[in-house]
């Protein structure tokens, strides 16, 4: 590898990393949604099940919507 091709490769790699870092920083600023593993989903589901068991209310969570209710 010649010095010229090494510098070219180094420049390209550096530019790529800076571009990638800029895109990542931009996305972190733009994306304001809570993460998918946010514990509030689990807590809400637990409260729905508590209500269903203690007060005979139907579970209204979207997690439970696929299960048929037998009466």
Pairwise CA distance, residues 50 & 60, whole Å: 12
35-52 burial: b if 16+ Cβ within 10 Å, else e = eeeeeeeeeeeeebeeee
Look up the pTM and report it: 0.46
* Model confidence pLDDT, tens digit, residues 5-45: 888 999 999 999 999 999 999 999 998 877 766 677 778 87
Looking at residue 10, its pLDDT comes to: 92
CB-count exposure of residue 61 (10 Å: 0-12, 13-18, 19+)? middle
* Separation CA 55–CA 24 (nearest Å): 47
Pick 59 or 4 by higher pLDDT: 4
Q: How many CA atoms lie within 13 A of 66 on its CB side?
A: 1
């Amino acid at each position: 590898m010649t010095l010229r091709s090494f510098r070219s490769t180094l420049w390209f790699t550096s530019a790529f990393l800076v571009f990638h870092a800029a895109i990542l920083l931009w996305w972190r600023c733009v994306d304001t949604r809570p993460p998918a593993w946010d514990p509030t989903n689990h807590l809400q589901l637990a409260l729905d099940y508590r209500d269903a068991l203690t007060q005979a209310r139907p579970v209204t969570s979207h997690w439970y919507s696929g299960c048929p209710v037998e009466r």
